[in-house]
Amino acid sequence: AMRMLTGSCYISPTGQFLLYLPLQVGYENANRFLLYLPLQVGYENANRFLLYLPLQVGYENAGTVEFLVDKHGKHYFIEVNSRLQVEHTVTEEVTDVDLVHAQLRVCEGRSLPELGLTQETIRVNGCAIQCRVTTEDPARGFQPDTGRLEVFRSGEGMGIRLDSASAFPGAVISPHYDSLLVKVIASGKDMSTAAAKMHRALSEFRVRGVKTNIPFLQNVLSNHQFLHSTVDTQFIDENQNLFIMKPVQNRAQKLLHYLGHVMVNGPTTPIPVKAKPSSIDPVIPTVPMGEPSLGFRDVLLREGPEGFAKAVRAHPGLLFMDTTFRDAHQSLLATRVRTHDLKKIAPYVSHNFNNLFSLENWGGATFDVAMRFLYECPWKRLQELRTLVPNVPFQMLLRGANAVGYTNYPDNAVFKFCEVAKENGMDIFRVFDSLNYLPNMILGMEAAGRAGGVVEAAISYTGDVSDPMRQKYSLAYYVKLTEELMKAGTHVLCIKDMAGLLKPESSRILISALRDRYPDVPIHVHTHDTAGAGVAAMLACAEAGADVVDVAVDSMAGMTSQPSMGAMVACTKGTKLDTGIALEKVFDYSEYWEVTRGLYAPFDCTATMKSGNADVYENEIPGGQYTNLHFQAHSMGLGNKFKQVKKSYSEANKLLGDLIKVTPSSKIVGDLAQFMVQNNLTREEVCGGKADELSFPLSVVEFLQGHIGIPVYDGCLPSPPSQVLKSLPRIEGRPGATLPPLDFDALEAGLRLLHGDDITQEDVMSAAMYPKVFQEYKEFTGSFGPVDCLSTRLFLDGPKIAEEFQVEIERGKTLHIKALAVGDLNKTGQRGVFFELNGQLRSVLVKDNVAMKEMKFHPKALKSVRGQVGAPMPGKVIEVKVEPGQKVEKGQPLCVLSAMKMETVVNSPLTGVVTVIHVDTDNSLEGDDLILEITAEE
């Protein structure tokens, strides 16, 4: 191994000469030296070597000699640079000599002794290190990065010298010039002191808009071998951990990009109605100091699921599950309530409603909506709420073998999901199947039980057990299904009335029958208040023996949501069903949500729907779906035809054999209903001979194939299913039973390749449930940062000009932001948006989506599509080495790019055939511009 050395000398026209200290190159990349430090002893031969060649050729002026030296002290000449090199600053710091100034004075005719420069006066004082801060990406072979410096703040202080290039906010780093931003020189009494000062200074740098080599330099400065022993040309090869760099968070600038994007282009999440979020901030009720009182979760942790069930059954009054944190806003506000607003009120719930049976706050549609529309992690919601509410059991909705998705998953994915959910704070798993298909339900129950959770088997209710004419879903059907679930080992039995079909009489009939047969099992009833009879029905259930009923706080109750908490508290007060909840606490809780609901005005169902409707007893549309269909009808200009939509839903249900309607079976009925309305089809036409001529919705076809299980009766379409399926196969038995196990290790490895090493088991589960949604969520947060830290109004509508606000990005770190202005449109279709961040001016360039529609831009390579090859760096295309139709092997060169005196060969990421080439020679590309596309070899 060799050591790379460079040394400075000065030879005057009169033959006087000086030798300065040799310097070691601590690291050299393909083209540039990055880090320098002095060699203080043991290199006397190097001094003689420095002078030999310049004196032999009659060289005058300052110069720099570069050479290698091996472990035996033998020197190998490389070159002489007839100037001072960039590393001369280190020599100046340790010798206290201004080399450039001295050079100019000699040119004016001064001698070296006149300047006080003799060999005897050259002394080494301490140690100095120089780092070149460049716009290069160490993770990609130090490829140069280009772009606009959005932020540039240097680190300074005692013992730090900066020799800067063109580094300032707004500076454009071009691919045609050197990538140097600034030379940082740290000096101290010894090596460790200088290194510590340099590390501190680099950590204070803030460079945004381009990648830099700072994380790599910090790793070098922390390396034990670098600090305490010999470093040679094999240093990098032997220390590959130097490339394991802590990601730069850049949260503040990313949030400014998001806010700027919303100010220029409007909301990033789809908005159903043209209503603005309220400008009134909710007032959080007072929360007492100290720990909250014990609740049922303390019983669960102490006595386990069986002991918990006994305690619930032994409780003298009526218990509530509060749905405000999930199903209430899913029914009224399109599932759009953010963790930001849930966290504010969570401590109040913990302190004042500790006797709740459970708080429903997770699962169902909230899981994918969190990532898809709110750009926040559903697991983080669970974790943060668990910290804030330690005493009330959490409950989630688990779609049996479908977990929290809309498709079938391998069995091990469902088991792993429940395990991770339990680890993150979930307590009660309410397990259902949209068809009450026992094999699917039992799998979900087994997964929840094995994870250590409370298993609550939920029977989806439809029909009317009080109507003797409706025999398909009779009392006998529900009793028999309950018997099977009890055999499967449920801890709690739930009646899930998702459309609000339970009337007081049917409630008494059903609950009394179940209570008589199973006196020891807790019974929990879930309903919706669409018809307006929810309070009466739940009181009837409680009187018949139900232990728990579902409610939502008053301002989030009624219509397609759950019955009112306040009404239920008042109606049971002073009776044997007394809940023990103080009404004044409910009022404060409701006031918070009344104001908070105004923030979600763009999603509020009351924009189009002004009341519930008892016709739900006829059409049987579930609460959340009722709201969605109403929104859709009005958005499509069919508001005056919503009655027809509901009628078609009822007909579609009958066509499919009178299904139990809950996600995903309810969507299948809805899809068929919309299909019938759009194609002006009657029930008779679908029933007749037209079935084999129609192109049915995919969800209907897959249902008939058996993708979601087997209905209670195999009625389906009155036409034989074969007319719809044609040659498509049918699934026999439980759909997920034949799926191969999911390889979690392979999935995690793939995610790390795409998103880096900061991948958790929660991320893996999110990707397992929703691969495409998770990918889009990671890309969004990678560009715009932790938008879940923003208030809801800012998230949806952005700030007003001159508005000042605060954003807490973590405990103890608060950003103070003021929106200043939005600039005019430039020639590239962008607008400058100006902010004040923590007292300093910041600006971002935002693409105007309206203007961009009229402009043409080079397409970008999608990271999620393996066959799309993008430019690894900005630069010019020097050569394209392949042609369309050509077969290429993995690693084969595809093209050559050039930027900043550096050529990069772009290799094929896979074996396959080149299908499309998007570039030509001499094209200038930006980073990630699409070069070509490859179809993988099968």
The b-or-e profile of 620-658 (16+ CB within 10 A means b, else e) is bbbbbbbbbbbbbbbeeeeeeebeebbbbbbbbbebbeb
pLDDT in tens, 761-784: 999 999 999 999 999 999 999 999
Distance CA 526, CA 551 (A): 8
Of 3, 48, 83, 866, catalytic? 83
According to the model, what pLDDT value does residue 716 have? 45
- Which pLDDT band holds residue 146 (cuts at 50, 70, 90)? confident
- H/E element, 672: helix 665-678
Q: Which of 151-165, 237-251, 692-706, 713-727 has the weakest average pLDDT?
A: 713-727
Q: Hey, what are 113's tokens? A: 């002794």
- Please say if the pLDDT value at position 368 is more than 90: yes
Peptide bond into 664 cis (omega under 30): yes
- Across the chain, what does the average pLDDT equal? 89
User: How far is Cα of residue 752 from the mean position of the Cα atoms in its chain?
Assistant: 14
Length of the chain: 938
Distance CA 626, CA 559 (A): 10
Distance CA 676, CA 697 (A): 10
The percent of residues in the chain predicted with pLDDT above 70, rounded, is 92
Angle at 395 between CA 390 and CA 401, to 5 degrees: 140
Residues 6+ apart with CB under 8 A from 104: none
Distance CA 24, CA 554 (A): 73
Q: Under DSSP, is residue 677 helix (H, G, I), strand (E, B) or coil?
A: helix
Mean pLDDT calculated for residue range 285-290:
92
Q: Hey, what are 103's tokens? A: 């050079």
Distance CA 857, CA 854 (A): 10
Q: Which of 263-267, 727-731, 839-843 has the weakest average pLDDT?
A: 727-731
Distance CA 383, CA 841 (A): 35
- Please say if the pLDDT value at position 639 is more than 80: no
According to the model, what pLDDT value does residue 715 have? 46
Residues 6+ apart with CB under 8 A from 330: 364, 365, 366, 624
Q: Hey, what are 42's tokens? A: 């043991």
More confident residue, 84 or 437: 437
Q: Which of 743-752, 812-821, 846-855 has the weakest average pLDDT?
A: 846-855
* HSE-up (13 A, CA, CB side) for residue 833: 28
DSSP string, 448-475: HHHTTPEEEEEEEP-S-TT-TT--TT-H
Residue closest to 610 by CA, chosen among 668, 558, 548: 558
Residue closest to 118 by CA, chosen among 144, 95, 146: 95
According to the model, what pLDDT value does residue 411 have? 96
Q: Hey, what are 839's tokens? A: 């007292």
Distance CA 393, CA 358 (A): 5
According to the model, what pLDDT value does residue 820 have? 97
Q: Hey, what are 686's tokens? A: 């679908």
Residues 6+ apart with CB under 8 A from 733: 439
Judge whether 251 counts as a catalytic residue: no
* HSE-up (13 A, CA, CB side) for residue 402: 24
Distance CA 458, CA 463 (A): 16
- H/E element, 836: strand 830-837
Running DSSP on this structure, what letter comes out for residue 690?
Answer: T
Q: Under DSSP, is residue 418 helix (H, G, I), strand (E, B) or coil?
A: helix
Enumerate the β-bridge partners of residue 932: 869, 917
- Please say if the pLDDT value at position 692 is more than 80: no
Mean pLDDT calculated for residue range 228-236:
80
With both helix axes pointing from N to C terminus, report the angle between 761-769 and 744-755 in degrees, rounded to the nearest 10: 100
Distance CA 326, CA 114 (A): 84
Distance CA 364, CA 383 (A): 17
Distance CA 386, CA 388 (A): 5
Q: Which of 53-62, 381-390, 786-795 has the weakest average pLDDT?
A: 53-62
CA–CA distances in Å: residue 732 to residues 239, 704, 708: 56, 11, 11
Distance CA 17, CA 405 (A): 79
Q: Hey, what are 372's tokens? A: 């898809």
Q: Hey, what are 717's tokens? A: 């379409």
Q: Which amino acid is at 724?
A: V
Residue ranges of domains in the chain, CATH in brackets? 3-243 (3.30.470.20), 306-603 (3.20.20.70), 616-736 (1.10.472.90), 799-857 (3.10.600.10), 868-936 (2.40.50.100)
Distance CA 530, CA 578 (A): 25
What strand order describes the sheet that includes 912-917?
868-870, 930-936, 912-917, 887-888
* HSE-up (13 A, CA, CB side) for residue 536: 10
More confident residue, 717 or 137: 137
Distance CA 570, CA 559 (A): 19
Mean pLDDT calculated for residue range 468-481:
93
Residues 6+ apart with CB under 8 A from 308: 296, 299, 300, 393, 454, 491
Distance CA 560, CA 625 (A): 9
User: How far is Cα of residue 678 from the mean position of the Cα atoms in its chain?
Assistant: 37
pLDDT in tens, 586-616: 999 999 999 999 999 999 988 888 888 999 9
Enumerate the β-bridge partners of residue 728: none
Residue with tokens 């300052």: 62
Distance CA 169, CA 207 (A): 9
Helix, strand, coil percent values for the chain (each to nearest 5): 40, 20, 40
Residues 11 and 61 sit within 8 Å (Cβ to Cβ): yes
- Which pLDDT band holds residue 697 (cuts at 50, 70, 90)? confident
DSSP string, 708-776: T---SSS---SS-HHHHHTT-----S-GGGGSPPP-HHHHHHHHHHHH-S---HHHHHHHHH-HHHHHH
Residues 292 and 350 sit within 8 Å (Cβ to Cβ): yes
Q: Which of 253-267, 494-508, 592-606, 900-914 has the weakest average pLDDT?
A: 900-914
901: left (phi over 0), alpha (psi -120 to 50) or beta: left
* pTM assigned to the model: 0.84
According to the model, what pLDDT value does residue 30 have? 43
* HSE-up (13 A, CA, CB side) for residue 934: 26
Distance CA 108, CA 59 (A): 18
pLDDT in tens, 905-920: 899 989 999 999 999 9
Q: What are phi and psi of 659, to 5 degrees?
A: -85, 160
- Which pLDDT band holds residue 9 (cuts at 50, 70, 90)? low
Distance CA 224, CA 191 (A): 12
Distance CA 767, CA 747 (A): 8
DSSP string, 359-404: EEEEETTHHHHHHHTS-S-HHHHHHHHHHH-SSS-EEEEE-GGGTT
Residues 18 and 37 sit within 8 Å (Cβ to Cβ): no
Cβ count near 239 (within 10 Å): 17
Mean pLDDT calculated for residue range 907-935:
91
Distance CA 444, CA 517 (A): 24
